[in-house]
Amino acid sequence: SPVDLYTATLWLACGGAVAALSLVWVAIALLLLFGRAFRGLRDDRLLEEVEALAGEVESASRLPPRECYCALVSLKKKHPSLRLASVLNTVGPAWASFLHLAMDVGNIIILSSQGNWTLALPLAFTVGISALYAHRAAYSHHRLPKEVMLSLRRGMATDGCLKAIRSDKGVLRIPETVLKVYGLPFAAKGPVSVAFALGSILANWALVAKFVFNEFDLGVDSAGCSRARAKHM
């Protein structure tokens, strides 16, 4: 039937796109690996600057809110690329974590009412894991306004805000993206529905990719903080 042909074509297109992106990713990774790691090229001066900046930020984070903000403003004058906490990069992601969780609970209810347990159960599992992570991290959403306001006063996000963002982008969005890719052919009713579904998947990929880059790029955060603590002991 035309619907089956349309679904099969969409599956084939998705598979081809994933394969093409994987090949591009491997090619870029190999170029970077052979171009730098195997030739031993590294910018020691830049690494020292990053380590020093990480130590100063870590030291500022131990200060009271007003003093922390002033210290970060001084650092920003020396390092213009340093971003302080603002309404855009603090309030948005923190509240989005709560709203995203609530929206996925609604999606679970809709999928369950339609009898689509193939998608409802895995999504319910990921939502439960995300909520459990937030709870075990000693964070609760009724504290969200307090954590956000404190982050703005300090000029940097508090642990509570970071845990909320991690529970969303690091725990919920990654498996959710996999489920959306899996469910794309089943949601395909026409070009408009496919466009909306693909837009949602690409948005998730962009958010997750930026989150992973900020959290784990070169281990700068872990290395900088651990060395800063060692210097102050």
Picking from 228, 203, 202, 211, the residue whose alpha carbon sits closest to that of residue 50 is 228
Q: Is residue 89 part of a domain?
A: yes
C-alpha distances in Å from residue 221, one per residue of 25, 157, 197: 24, 14, 34
- Condensed to tens digits (0 to 9), the pLDDT of residues 39-93 reads 556 667 877 887 888 889 889 989 999 999 999 999 999 888 888 888 888 888 8
Angle at 141 between CA 138 and CA 143, to 5 degrees: 75
Tokens of 180: 């959306």
Task: Specify whether 27 is located in the same domain as 115.
Answer: no
- Condensed to tens digits (0 to 9), the pLDDT of residues 195-210 reads 766 677 777 777 777 7
Q: Is residue 111 part of a domain?
A: yes
Task: Specify whether 99 is located in the same domain as 209.
Answer: yes
Task: Specify whether 22 is located in the same domain as 90.
Answer: no
- Condensed to tens digits (0 to 9), the pLDDT of residues 123-153 reads 888 888 878 777 765 555 567 788 888 889 9
Q: Is residue 74 part of a domain?
A: no
Task: Specify whether 138 is located in the same domain as 193.
Answer: yes
Picking from 145, 105, 148, 149, the residue whose alpha carbon sits closest to that of residue 124 is 105
What is the arithmetic mean of pLDDT over 211-226? 56
Determine the Cα–Cα distance for residues 144 and 105; give it in Å rounded to an integer: 19
Report pLDDT for 154: 92
Task: Specify whether 22 is located in the same domain as 109.
Answer: no
Is 64 in a helix, a strand, or coil?
coil
Q: Is residue 148 part of a domain?
A: yes
Domain count, the chain: 2
Domain that holds residue 31: 1-41
Task: Specify whether 28 is located in the same domain as 129.
Answer: no
Q: Is residue 159 part of a domain?
A: yes
* 186 close to 217: Cβ distance less than 8 angstroms: no
Task: Specify whether 34 is located in the same domain as 87.
Answer: no
Task: Specify whether 119 is located in the same domain as 193.
Answer: yes
- Condensed to tens digits (0 to 9), the pLDDT of residues 7-30 reads 667 667 766 776 677 677 777 766
pTM of the model: 0.59
Q: Is residue 113 part of a domain?
A: yes
Report pLDDT for 232: 46
Task: Specify whether 195 is located in the same domain as 97.
Answer: yes
Task: Specify whether 111 is located in the same domain as 176.
Answer: yes
Q: Which of 104-113, 146-155, 171-180 has the highest mean pLDDT?
A: 146-155
Is 157 in a helix, a strand, or coil?
coil
Q: Is residue 229 part of a domain?
A: no
Task: Specify whether 92 is located in the same domain as 23.
Answer: no
Report pLDDT for 228: 46
Task: Specify whether 21 is located in the same domain as 136.
Answer: no
Determine the Cα–Cα distance for residues 94 and 163; give it in Å rounded to an integer: 9
Q: Is residue 30 part of a domain?
A: yes
